[in-house]
A and B are shown apart, each in its own frame.
Chain A
Amino acid sequence: MKPWVLSIGLVAGLGWAAAPAQALTVYVSNEKDNSISVIDGDSLEVTATVPVGQRPRGIALSHDGSLLYICASDDDHVEVLDLATMKIIGTLPSGPDPELFILHPSGNPLYVANEDDNLVTVVDVEKGSVLAEVPVGVEPEGMGLSPDGKVLVNTSETTNMAHFIDTDTYEITSNVLVDSRPRFAEFTSDGKQVWVTSEIGGTISVIDSDTREIIHKIEFEIPGVRPEAIQPVGVRVNKAGTLAFVALGPSNRIAVVDAKTFEVKKYLLVGQRVWQLAFSPDESLLFTTNGVSNDISVIDVEKLRVIKSIPVGRFPWGVVAKD
């Protein structure tokens, strides 16, 4: 655990631009405000709000941490934000209505889910060109990539499948049927499993990435919360493969799951309609976007406690953190 420096006056005086290179910084896309909120990881305060394109949803860092890629869904392209100057320095073609994407482990290409067009678009981020378009199911959203970058998993919300795509040939090699409205796919760090959340089905399907079979379905039950409100969206598994965190939407809870036994250990109360999650690079903190209460909850991963809520813009959607 990092000791918290809460000298707000000092931090506010320095601002984000003057922050030391290794300082934790969190970026949040605000879907309805067309902006990115920048949060200082020490003070846990918003230090800047940067206007970007329309309906920003999924965001991702370039591998050197210098750029932020932003799905500007209603502008039908990906914007590139230079994190040193906080200026948009360019756009990438993405196909229509980009919602969520994932970057190859080498830093290029970018795999984009085009929600309106039933496509996954593969974009070369250096040349700014489209390498391929892969037809998938209806309303593609979730994007997971194996650690070696060889297998891409896309989930389609209306088709209800996890599509396994070979990133060399762009062929679909398997389609795994999961519960209703799959929203997110996350590979474990050893590449052996893919965790797929089903928002309406209310479950997580843990898929063996070799056999492409569902080896376990995780269900959730929260005393006093009606089952319909339990809607899994974002999921993150820690690098050690021991703990997973699942955002449960309008139940306003994060489920903490033992990633070995698949047992739910705890539910943490966060803001309203929690969707996406990001660890800090050292995995000591987890940040959640709460779309209805317009804030970010900060979870202490060791203590499994919510330590702070940070107000951001309207409908916070995507979140990433870097040192």
Chain B
Amino acid sequence: MTRFRLTFLTEAVGILAAAAAVLAAPHLVAAQDVKNVTIAYLSQVVERPPKLSNLDLPPQDEGSQGGVLAIKDNNTTGSFLKQHFELVEESVAADGDPIAAFEALAAQGIRFVILNVPAKTLLQIADLPSARDVLLFNAGAPDDSLRNEDCRANVLHLMPSRAMLSDGLAQYLIKKRWREWFVVVGRRESDRLFAEAIRRSAKRFGGKIVEEKTWDYGPDVRRTAQAEVPAFTQGVDADLILVADEIGEFGEYLVYRTWQPILVVGTQGLSPTSWHRTHEQWGAAQLQSRFEKMTGRRMTPLDYHVWGPIRAIGEAATRTNSTDFDKIVAYLKGPDFELAGFKGQKLTIRPWNGQLRQPILLAAPKALVSVSPQDGFLHEHSLLDTLGYDEQESRCRDYR
């Protein structure tokens, strides 16, 4: 178990001191007047199966750097309000004990915890007695069950669910009149869940799944794909292949190798995502460039999923002019909360399950293709509620 304690007060003071020749900064206040908010980021590095595409290994500090940037931003704003934010990072090994790690954080009195753990672990933590007075942010589990029957009053989801991602993609496919889908599902549970989301989207928006097949050729077909993929895809007449391969075992190898010339979309090819390096609209270019300047690398969806909760807490502390836990939670779960998430509109939280409403980016590897919701998909309250589980169909009972 490793631990990093990241504090930026010294840095902030440094910046101000550098400008002191021309400045007397009234907002630079004595440290003892400053109210502190500590936020933890707890992640468990689950063992990653060998990837077919081992070209883009995830950075070691993926996720945590999103947190570092958000803490920096919060502290710049906090300097005007005598608020200071601190990030405590806990990283648990694949065979480690995330429950014990959480208990240790809670024992320190930390009441905001961002979790990048599998859905099952998240539920175990949320149901601990020590988590009763803690607000948890899901930054790692896209599972729709967590937004439905397994929702919890102490869990917010600022990252999109699989249904939101799948709906975002499906709206675009329908808009393009590419209605006939050949669904190819990987051999993992996460792939089955993504395929389930695709089936739901097809029903909602009028897609037709003309064929569904499971890819179970094992993890490495890079030498044999040219022989395997044509045979696997032969005899299916569809507008496109919709692939469900969340860890990237085989999806990339379908492209250009199919029996017929056919588009590949889904977890590979044109993919729905919360964040992408090609996203630059609505001020996103600024966030991307600040992140890149700080880290020397591009911001990933996981970085964005950790950035979001910290900014949300910062925003609540600013608006309530308070660092009080109950006030911040009430604000986050109340009707006035809105997050400026660089998506061209305010992002708000669904009051029925704690899920952040958000546009979904549709990205090819080096080009942003579109952003959903697509024009023409209507909703009586918010167009963003055309993505994911709407209030009427929600099976969440325990959030409110």
Contacts and interface: CB of A to CB of B under 8 A. Distances in A.
Interface of A: 97, 115-116, 118, 131-135, 137-139, 156-161, 163, 169-173, 175, 177, 180-181, 200-202, 226, 228-229, 231, 250
Interface string B270-306: 0000000000000100100110010000000000000
17 contacts: A115-B286, A116-B286, A132-B23, A137-B80, A156-B77, A159-B80, A160-B77, A171-B23, A172-B80, A180-B340, A181-B283, A200-B346, A202-B346, A228-B344, A228-B382, A229-B345, A231-B345
Contact of B80 (A158, A161, A201, A228): A161
B190 interface: no
A241 to B, nearest CB: 30
Given A116-B290, A200-B338, A200-B345, A177 B16 contact: no
A160 B16 CA distance: 20
Contacts of B22: 131-134, 170
Contacts of A172: 25-27, 80
Contact of A169 (B24, B27, B382): B24
Given A138-B73, A160-B315, A163-B80, 8 more contacts: A97-B289, A134-B19, A135-B25, A139-B286, A172-B25, A172-B27, A180-B340, A180-B346
Contacts of B338: 180, 200-201
Nearest to B383: A226
Chain B residues touching A, range? 20 to 34
Contacts of B16: 135
A186 to B, nearest CB: 20
Given A161-B77, A180-B346, A201-B346, A173 B340 contact: no
B322 interface: no
Given A97-B289, A133-B19, A138 B76 contact: yes
B35 interface: no
A10 to B, nearest CB: 41
Contacts of A231: 344-345
B77 A159 contact: yes
B213 interface: no
A135 B315 CA distance: 20
Contacts of A169: 24
B283 A157 contact: yes
B1 interface: no
B57 interface: no
Contact of A139 (B15, B19, B283, B346): B283
A209 B382 CA distance: 36
A177 B318 contact: yes
A231 B338 CA distance: 14
Given A135-B16, A170-B23, A200-B338, A116 B344 contact: no
Contacts of B203: none
A294 to B, nearest CB: 15
Contacts of B73: 138, 158-159
A175 B24 contact: no
Nearest to B382: A228
A137 B283 contact: no
Contacts of B27: 172, 175
B76 A228 contact: no
Interface string B16-36: 100100111111000000000
B205 to A, nearest CB: 19
B26 A135 contact: no
Closest 6 CB pairs of A and B: A228-B345, A132-B22, A159-B77, A175-B80, A180-B340, A138-B73
A242 B339 CA distance: 34
B26 to A, nearest CB: 6
Interface string B299-331: 000000000000100010011000000000000
A180 B76 CA distance: 16
Contacts of B286: 97, 115-116, 139, 157
A166 B311 CA distance: 29
Contacts of A97: 286, 289
A181 B25 contact: no
A290 to B, nearest CB: 15
Contacts of A201: 338, 346
Contacts of B318: 159-160, 177
Contacts of A157: 283, 286, 340
Given A138-B76, A159-B77, A200-B338, A173 B26 contact: yes
B349 to A, nearest CB: 15
A137 to B, nearest CB: 6
Interface string B50-77: 0000000000000000000000010011
Contacts of B81: 175
B19 A158 contact: no
Question: Taking each of B25, B290, B315, which has the highest tally of chain A beta carbons within 10 Å of its own beta carbon?
Answer: B290
Given A158-B340, A171-B25, A138 B293 contact: no
A228 B77 contact: no
Interface in B216-243: none
Given A134-B19, A250-B344, A118 B319 contact: no
A162 to B, nearest CB: 11
Interface string B340-365: 10001110000000000000000000
A210 to B, nearest CB: 18
A156 B318 CA distance: 13
B24 A171 contact: yes
A32 B24 CA distance: 39
B373 to A, nearest CB: 10
A172 B16 CA distance: 13
A131 B21 CA distance: 11
Contacts of B26: 171-173
Contact of A137 (B76, B340, B346): B76
A177 B76 contact: no
A14 B25 CA distance: 54
A251 to B, nearest CB: 11
A153 to B, nearest CB: 14
